[in-house]
């Protein structure tokens, strides 16, 4: 059985009882960074027989190794560095191969930065698009933003601290006076949610050098103002 296990995006208390049970019972835990996941496991006194890395640079050989373990009857748990695996995460090639081999898969749901940010944003959530990380190159990034700006429902982006000021500025230029929420360090001690127009957020974060993982939630095209 391959168990897809969601882990905390910040606050360790968000790890579910079921997730703890599954991780303790696993023969192998597959993760992006063994050092990062090792700290989580140590906190909950979970000592798996085997810890394997699986990240964006892992090749077909590692996928085959994990599939072979499943075929041998091993219980394998897949986790990401934070949140729900396979959401803007490198686990898809593994899951695809596991499904092709007709091996059983289960999901242990839990924390997700996407849904957490949507919930606290104050923007409409009845329909949304998760865009993930925008391209590193400015030209490609602007083309994607131009495509996203035509959507009439809420759009969710992931972003890094060192690019946040530039990306917010580009969003303000392309999307206009649209409202948005920037969610930083969700569930952690210094959790912060900033709301306003994209221009206001661009001005705010253009003067700061923020730390931590960030989620930008942007209102859809033609949406009425909420933050007034």
At 138-182, the pLDDT tens digits run: 999 999 999 999 999 999 999 999 999 999 999 999 998 899 999
| CATH C-level class of 2-108 | alpha beta
pLDDT of residue 5: 98
Buried b (16+ CB within 10 A) or exposed e, 50-80: ebbebeeebeeebbeebbebbeeebbbbbbb
Query: Is the pTM for the entire model greater than 0.85?
Result: yes
Sketch the domain layout of the chain as residue ranges: 2-108, 113-218
Instruction: Dump pLDDT digits (tens) for 180-223.
Output: 999 999 999 999 999 999 999 999 998 888 888 899 999 999 88
Mean pLDDT of 33-57: 94
2-108 with 113-218: one CATH topology? no
Which overall architecture, per CATH, does domain 113-218 show?
A: 2-Layer Sandwich (3.30)
Q: How many CB atoms lie within 10 A of CB 118?
A: 21
**CB neighbour class for 224 (10 Å; exposed up to 12, middle 13-18, buried from 19):** exposed
Instruction: Dump pLDDT digits (tens) for 68-110.
Output: 999 999 999 999 999 999 998 889 999 999 999 999 999 999 9
**Can you tell me the distance from the alpha carbon of 98 to that of 179, in angstroms, rounded to the nearest whole number?**
41
Query: How would you classify the pairing of strands 50-53 and 28-31?
Result: parallel
Q: Are 226 and 122 in contact (CB under 8 A)?
A: yes
């Amino acid at each position: 059985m391959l168990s897809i296990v969601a882990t905390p995006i910040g606050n360790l208390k968000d790890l579910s009882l079921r997730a703890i049970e599954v991780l303790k019972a696993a023969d192998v835990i597959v993760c992006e960074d063994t050092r990062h996941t090792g700290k989580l496991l140590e906190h909950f006194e979970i000592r798996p027989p085997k810890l394997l890395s699986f990240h964006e640079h892992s090749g077909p050989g590692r996928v085959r190794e994990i599939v072979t373990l499943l075929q041998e009857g091993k219980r394998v748990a897949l986790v990401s560095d934070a949140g729900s695996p396979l959401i803007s995460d490198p686990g898809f090639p593994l899951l695809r191969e596991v499904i092709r081999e007709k091996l059983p898969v289960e999901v242990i749901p839990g924390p997700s930065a996407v849904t957490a940010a949507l919930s606290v944003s104050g923007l409409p959530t009845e329909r949304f698009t998760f865009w993930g990380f925008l391209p590193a190159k400015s030209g490609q990034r602007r083309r994607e933003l131009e495509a996203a700006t035509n959507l009439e429902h809420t759009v969710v982006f992931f972003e890094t601290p060192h690019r946040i000021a530039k990306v917010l500025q580009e969003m303000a230029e392309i999307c206009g006076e649209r409202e948005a929420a920037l969610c930083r360090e969700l569930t952690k001690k210094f959790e912060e949610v900033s709301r306003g127009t994209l221009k206001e957020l661009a001005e705010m974060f253009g003067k700061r050098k923020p730390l931590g993982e960030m989620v930008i939630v942007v209102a859809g095209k033609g949406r009425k103002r909420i933050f007034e």
